[in-house]
Amino acid sequence: MSRLIVLSNRVKMPDNNPMAGGLAVALQDMLKDDAGIWMGWNGDIVETAMSPEFTSYCATNAFGDGKQMTLPNPNLNNAGAKITYVTTALSVEQYRHFYCGFSNNVLWPMLHEQPDLISQAPDDYAGYQAVNRLFAEQLKKIIQPNDVIWVHDYHFLSVAYYCRQLGLKNRIGFFLHIPFAPLAYWQQLDKSAMLIQHLAHYDVLGTQTQHDKANSLKVFEHYLKGCLIDNRFLENPFLKSRSFDNSRLDSSHLNSSHLNSSGLNNKPTQDATWMTSPKSPRFVELNKSARVLLRFDLDLNEVSDLDDLGDFDTLHSLAIDAYPIGVNVAKIQQQVRHLSLQSAKFAPKNETIKPARQQIIAVDRIDYSKGLLQRFSAYRHFLQQHPTYQHQLQFLQVACPSRLDLGVYQRLYSSVKHAVTAVNQQFLSSKSVTADYQTDALIVDDFTLGNLKDHPNSTHWQAITYSEAVLNHDTLMTAFWHSDVGWVNSLKDGMNLVAKEYIAAQNPDNPGVLVLSCYAGASEQMQAAVIIDPLQPDSVVQGLQTALTMPLAERKSRYQTLLNGLQQNDLNGWRQDFLTDLYGSDKDDCKHELSHRVYQNV
């Protein structure tokens, strides 16, 4: 019997402790239908000596009986279903080099198109490769012949390569939850060629968006053109259509050039629909609706420092497609159902102008990709240009600190607190309490209960109500339900599940409005949101004004369009689509191949 083994950097254990970030929560929801295995880091950092070559397990990385647990998941409908958790701690050195160093000082800024923040060090790359090898070795220990492995995110670009070195022939899929950067950014790294060769050893590679898929094809073409045999479009008749709503896309705000002296785009990229052939200078238009199958002749001897490669077939196929992750719409609607049934709201009127007394919510990790400082600056401009909203409009910013072991995040954290304090001080009235960057739990509770709208002139009014609390999912969905506007201001995001959760949690009779950055992957599907460019303050100010004054009929229409899209492409659909391809035909079987090829051998 085939088992699904999921590998991710962090594992959400079945407890009541909330986690910041959408990946672990999404994986926990995804695994509710599988009695599979979830492997990853347990979050512990242990002071211990480790082998300098990372070739054997140190005490820190003992995936033994003490680290492997089979527990019932409290969120499962099937009470008998169990998930086996296989976790390990990291040593201080592994945490420094693998996690802080290469993963988050190199790959994260590169993939989010922030080359100025990249900090490369040989020890960090070595540590990254050692931990990838470590997890591959543990996979070999527990793998069975029919098992399928699904690896998640940028921490593990090289795991499949080491699995192949160790002789594993199981199907291995990789899903990148964050953006796949254009070629120009990959070229900023010293080890890009090696990483792409490692990535090619997966059987299926999934991206969040068609834009990311196009970027990935260009990158593979560039680095692996010497071993690329051919490239063809595939279609799978068993897959449901993954819809991308581009019909309302207005890219007029993306026309200006933002190239710097190195040829990189200072403004996050938005549209890329072409790839070039390594056999010909002609351009071939990318068929967005089809998977692409790349066939390589991969010689491990060219990229390995190991002598014993075993019996390895160098011919390999990699299928690439976009699999936009969704949310558990039914679960979220159930979480807020009681609010609609018990709501004290009156039936809304179809007003031409909505009152200024409304609520805005934004939920982010404190990360430079989230556009927090740009948000606060634009909000300052909004209140200046629309003074009627001062002392009326309630804005809750939930901002969870992260990666504070890294200097860039320490500086950002300080800047965020300073910016919030500055905005609050600017709009402080003589009746208000002293503005500070930190709010108390009572104000957050009032916000989630919708009480602040009813007391706009209280001494607690601040331009920005700020909280660093990690809210449990029920509380967060309640806050979304009570909020008139959900604001996603990302400068670059793979998807942004907050945008989708906000829509799923809305009251159908009186829905709020999603204000969504054009640089979030979600914007490729969610064009019925109010799309803004967070790098253009006027765009943000206009977007907020549009959202806050939108008539009920238009809000309902946009909400229904967005909800339909979420229901058609929910979390279960994402899981099924990816696993259908991963479990699908043998890697050398091309029964669903279209008659034409992407690349013509010229």
212-226: average pLDDT? 95
Per-residue pLDDT at 117 exceeds 70: yes
Percentage of the chain lying above the pLDDT 70 cut: 70
Per residue in 497-550, pLDDT (tens digit) is 999 999 999 999 999 999 999 999 999 999 999 999 999 999 999 999 999 999
Kindly state whether residues 169 and 200 are assigned to the same domain. Answer: yes
Whichever domain contains 488, its CATH number is 3.40.50.2000
Kindly state whether residues 336 and 225 are assigned to the same domain. Answer: no
Q: Confirm whether 430 is domain-assigned.
A: yes
Kindly state whether residues 317 and 438 are assigned to the same domain. Answer: no
Q: Confirm whether 602 is domain-assigned.
A: no
Q: Confirm whether 261 is domain-assigned.
A: no
Kindly state whether residues 304 and 352 are assigned to the same domain. Answer: no
- Print burial letters for 161-198: b (CB count within 10 Å at least 16), e (below 16): bbbbbbebebbbbbbbbbbbbbbbbbbbbebbebbbbb
Q: Confirm whether 253 is domain-assigned.
A: no
pLDDT at 587: 42
Kindly state whether residues 110 and 192 are assigned to the same domain. Answer: yes
Domain of 112 in residue numbering reads as: 4-239+285-326+574-597
Kindly state whether residues 583 and 504 are assigned to the same domain. Answer: no
Strand 315-322 and strand 274-277: pairing? unpaired
Kindly state whether residues 397 and 322 are assigned to the same domain. Answer: no
Per-residue pLDDT at 315 exceeds 50: yes
Q: Confirm whether 255 is domain-assigned.
A: no
What is the spatial distance between Cα 173 and Cα 508, in angstroms, rounded to a whole number? 37
Per-residue pLDDT at 585 exceeds 60: no
pLDDT at 443: 54
Per-residue pLDDT at 409 exceeds 70: yes
Kindly state whether residues 344 and 318 are assigned to the same domain. Answer: no
Q: How confident is the model at residue 290 (pLDDT cuts 50, 70, 90)?
A: confident
Phi, psi of 569 (to 5 degrees): -130, 60
Number of domains in the chain: 2
Q: How confident is the model at residue 78 (pLDDT cuts 50, 70, 90)?
A: very low
Kindly state whether residues 385 and 318 are assigned to the same domain. Answer: no
Q: Confirm whether 456 is domain-assigned.
A: yes
Kindly state whether residues 335 and 214 are assigned to the same domain. Answer: no
Alpha helices in 278-406 (DSSP H): 329-342, 372-385
Q: Confirm whether 523 is domain-assigned.
A: yes
Q: Confirm whether 247 is domain-assigned.
A: no
pTM of the predicted model as reported, rounded to 2 decimal places: 0.84
pLDDT at 343: 64
Kindly state whether residues 380 and 432 are assigned to the same domain. Answer: yes
Kindly state whether residues 105 and 14 are assigned to the same domain. Answer: yes
